[in-house]
Amino acid sequence: MKKFILTLWSVLAVPVLAWGHFLIAVPPEGHGYGLRGQEISFRVLFGHPFEGILYDLKVPKGYVITPSGKKKSVSFTRLEVKDYASGKKRFGYRVDYLPTERGDHLLCLEAKPYLNEEEGEVWQDYMKVPFHVQVERGWQNRCGFGLEIVPLTRPYGLRVGQVFRARVLLNGKPAAGLELEIEKFNGFYVPEEKLPVDAYGRVNDPVITQTVVTDENGLFAVGFPEAGWWAVNVALPSGKTTYANRTFPLVIRSGMWLYVFPAQSVSPTGFNLLKEGK
């Protein structure tokens, strides 16, 4: 993997842009949990998580980092998924993986470069998905991306209202002043008339996509107002690249998917541990 080298000054000198569609990689069942010896399946798509708008995805590269830190290869099975916004069929992929050890695994993905014609940029996307298999072991492991989000809060068992803390690393060092976007995956198409609006009747983009910036130590924190799958994605403008015999700005993007559970409490059972009695 090539190194991503950029000075802090050049990062801060680039205008802030919106990157509202991402590499979507979530399992349809299990909420990011699995069992040893039981196959787990992931759906890998590309589009707007909140609105449910999809685009074609070229087959990515991928592997799994096991709890013991080993790298295991995975294969991709092409799927056709309907994009309800356009009525067209889009290409996505299924990844099946059989965990053979208990602990915390990482699905690590590298997409092929994507030309965003609207922004006039080429995006190079990396994404990881932690999934928990029975015991807590290895959630601090890394995929080894040049630009990577490294959790400081355990990245599963999260609940609404909890704060998630992490650090962004660039070539293994803390990356200051980088912008991240956080967006929920609804799992269905949301037409424009159903999107949240502001006081002027405009689509309320700041409600759909949260934004945070890393501090001088590459740290950030974010909370989640609703249960479900959430993408946390960082972007780094990285000079120029050639795509289809033309030159475009290159943006390296790296993210992770997190599942957030509802803030549920346990109902009283009648056994009061603080009450004296025989």
Would you list the DSSP string of 221-277? EEE-SSSEEEEEEEEEEEEEEEETTEEEEEEEEEEEEEEEE----PPP-S--TTS--
- Residue 91 domain-assigned? yes
- Residue 112 domain-assigned? yes
One digit per residue, pLDDT tens: the chain, 278 residues? 444 444 333 333 333 334 468 999 999 999 999 999 999 999 999 999 999 999 999 999 999 999 999 999 999 999 999 999 999 999 999 999 999 999 999 999 999 999 988 889 999 999 999 999 999 999 999 999 999 999 999 999 999 999 999 999 999 999 999 999 999 999 999 999 999 999 999 999 999 999 999 999 999 999 999 999 999 999 999 999 999 999 999 999 999 999 999 988 788 888 888 887 65
Are the CB atoms for 218 and 234 separated by under 8 Å? Answer: no
- Residue 48's domain comprises 8-261
- CA–CA distance, 97 with 66 (Å, rounded to integer): 11
- Residue 235 domain-assigned? yes
Distances (CA, A) of 120 to 10, 29, 56, 251, 266: 19, 36, 18, 11, 51
- Residue 215 domain-assigned? yes
- Residue 269 domain-assigned? no
- Residue 3 domain-assigned? no
- Strand (E) positions, the chain? 22-26, 33-34, 40-48, 53-55, 61-65, 71-73, 77-83, 88-97, 103-110, 114-116, 121-133, 147-151, 158-159, 163-170, 173-174, 179-185, 209-213, 219-223, 228-243, 246-261
Largest Cα–Cα distance of the chain, in whole Å? 83
Domain count, the chain: 1
Q: pTM for this one?
A: 0.89
CATH number at residue 216: 2.60.40.10
Nearest in space to 147 (alpha carbons), one of 166, 131, 125: 125
Are the CB atoms for 71 and 208 separated by under 8 Å? Answer: no
Helix (H) or strand (E) holding 205: helix 205-208
What is the rounded radius of gyration, in angstroms, for the C-alpha atoms of the chain? Answer: 20
- Residue 92 domain-assigned? yes
